[in-house]
Amino acid sequence: MRKIHLITFGCQMNKLDSELAAEALAGAGHALVASEAEADLVLFNTCSVRDRAERRVLSRLAQLRPRREAEPGFRLGLMGCFAERDGARLLERLPYLDFAVGTRQFARLPEIVARLDYGRERIGFFGGRAEAEGDPGIGPASPRKRHSGLHGFVSVMRGCDNRCSYCIVPETRGGEVSRPPLEVAAEARALVLAGAREITLLGQNIDAYRKGSGFGLADLLRLIDREISGDAGLLRLRFVTSHPRDITRELAAAVREFPRAARHFHMPAQSGSDGVLARMRRGYDLAAYRERLAMLREEVPGAAVASDFIVGFPGETEADFLATLDLVERSGFQNSFIFKYSPRPGTPAARDFADDVPEEEKRRRNRVLLAAQDRVNRERGAGLIGTRLTVLAEGPSPRDPDRWIGRTDGNLICVFPPPVQGSDRAGSLLELEVLSASSLTLFCRLAPGGAAKP
Ligand code: SAH
Ligand code: SF4
Ligand code: F3S
């Protein structure tokens, strides 16, 4: 039996896959260990979304090469998106890599790890269909013990059928596959019974859940509400990521009606310029994006909306960039995740357009947008001083154990003095009053008379 150290890069979907992989490996009798030093197998769950994500894995692998060569029995493996995209070539190129397994094949990990003990073969499994029987990401739910504390993640769909011109995800994750609603609900329920208080439903393009079937994401929220409402425990339900083209008024209305649905959407705009959006093949223009944003705020008063942006997309002029800046300045986003364009091999953008915005200029645009979002954050924070907020208390802050942290349903982080009753309040909703605010954190106290809400 092996001692396995699993290192995860990339998005929440990858983190969830790591939990599923760890569960499968533990089920086969292996031990998951917390440090590289005590491991005899280091497994990387990799990301390909930008070049940097791939380079970081390659450099970690190279650092482990001497140990791989000196220590008999020590092994190195890859799973995840980079493994899917380039695993076969990496196995050829890197003699110290023992196996690579793609995003829809990691159910085979126990078998692969067992094979490592025999011979010197190098193992690769790629491709496949997400709904293949036994795929741990999409198959029937088991009452899993895998959730990490208060936050449980459930995959509701995998893959993506969009073809945003810059994006590698459709290649690394394959086409859209939705899980059956009752499986999703059963898994969410199992997580809540195991202690989760907040469930996040995950999908690359989650608004397209069972698109055209007559039972979409809004119905799924209602189903989960009904299935879990008898079990004390579920306090919040979120879902990510929303595509502006597929998000519907019906979904927004379901969020408003379902008291435990977080009033929070992650709906990436990517750019504020129509020309850039067209070259990105996003399927909407600025006016349509603004219209969706207005719709969300109309249906769900006070909704927090977070966005992603790519700066330095091929051909992005100063005027294009200023249109994006204007969108950030005027939209009151809860948060903006900003990325510098990184050409991905084989994507339409990498094939058709030169990466013509200089790195220094990408960096500048990145800084300017971050500063604009920072101003939005500060204004919002200042406006919240003196108001009351409800947070899901998480317990002592990792940075300062004398203070607690919690999150609002819009995902704002609040810091506050520990409640008198102490640890039993972690995982419950508390009413706080905001005393002061920085860009990313609200400093609060327990609201007078604001005991835990039922
Ligand atoms: N499915 C989600 C997220 C995909 S990846 C969605 O469609 O919104 C997360 C973010 O990474 C994207 O929203 C985009 O902003 C960014 N991204 C994707 N490909 C990129 C690339 N080639 N270069 C830079 N950023 C990229
Ligand atoms: Fe990539 Fe676009 Fe699909 Fe998101 S919607 S995963 S950005 S192709
Ligand atoms: Fe996620 Fe990176 Fe893959 S963002 S889907 S792990 S390419």
Q: Are residues 428 and 393 in contact, defined by beta-carbon separation less than 8 angstroms?
A: yes
Whole-prediction pTM value? 0.94
- Quote the CA–CA distance of 42 and 71 in Å, as a whole number: 13
Indicate if ligand 1 lies below 6 Å from the C-beta of 169. Answer: yes
Task: Note down pLDDT in tens along the chain; length 454 residues.
Answer: 999 999 999 999 999 999 889 988 999 999 999 999 999 999 999 999 999 999 999 999 999 999 999 999 999 999 999 999 999 999 999 999 999 999 988 889 999 999 998 877 889 989 886 554 345 555 544 445 555 589 999 999 999 999 999 999 999 999 999 999 998 998 898 888 888 999 999 999 999 999 989 999 999 999 998 888 766 689 999 999 999 999 999 999 999 999 899 999 999 999 999 999 999 999 999 999 999 999 999 999 999 999 999 999 999 999 999 999 999 999 999 999 999 999 999 999 999 999 999 999 999 999 999 999 999 999 999 999 999 999 999 999 988 989 999 999 999 999 999 987 666 788 999 999 999 999 989 999 999 876 554 4
The verdict on 352 and 390 lying in the same domain is: no
Q: Which ligand 2 atom sits nearest the alpha carbon of residue 241?
A: 4
The verdict on 66 and 27 lying in the same domain is: yes
Q: Are residues 236 and 199 in contact, defined by beta-carbon separation less than 8 angstroms?
A: yes
**Is beta strand 429-437 parallel, antiparallel or unpaired with respect to 388-396?**
antiparallel
Residue 154 placed within a domain:
yes
The verdict on 368 and 315 lying in the same domain is: yes
Tell me which residue range forms the domain holding 8. Answer: 3-125
Binding pocket residue ranges, ligand 3, CB within 6 Å: 10-11, 13-14, 47-49, 80-81, 168-169, 172-173
The verdict on 118 and 213 lying in the same domain is: no
Specify burial of residue 449 (Cβ count, 10 A radius: 0-12, 13-18, 19+).
exposed
Nearest to 291 by CA among 250, 331, 251: 331
Domain count, the chain: 3
Specify burial of residue 37 (Cβ count, 10 A radius: 0-12, 13-18, 19+).
exposed
Residue 136 placed within a domain:
no
Nearest to 276 by CA among 327, 323, 343: 323
The verdict on 301 and 207 lying in the same domain is: yes
- Quote the CA–CA distance of 37 and 29 in Å, as a whole number: 20
Of 125, 156, 187, the residue at which a domain comes to its end is: 125
The verdict on 29 and 111 lying in the same domain is: yes
The verdict on 151 and 18 lying in the same domain is: no
- Quote the CA–CA distance of 188 and 180 in Å, as a whole number: 13
Q: Give the CA radius of gyration of the chain.
A: 23
Ligand nearest to the CA of 11: 3
The verdict on 181 and 300 lying in the same domain is: yes
The verdict on 215 and 108 lying in the same domain is: no
The verdict on 153 and 247 lying in the same domain is: yes
Residue 280 placed within a domain:
yes
Residue 223 placed within a domain:
yes
The verdict on 409 and 368 lying in the same domain is: no
CATH number for the domain spanning 88: value is 3.40.50.12160
Indicate if ligand 2 lies below 6 Å from the C-beta of 167. Answer: yes
**CB proximity list for 330: less than 8 A, separation 6 or greater:** none
Q: What are phi and psi of 446, to 5 degrees?
A: -65, 135
CATH number for the domain spanning 344: value is 3.80.30.20
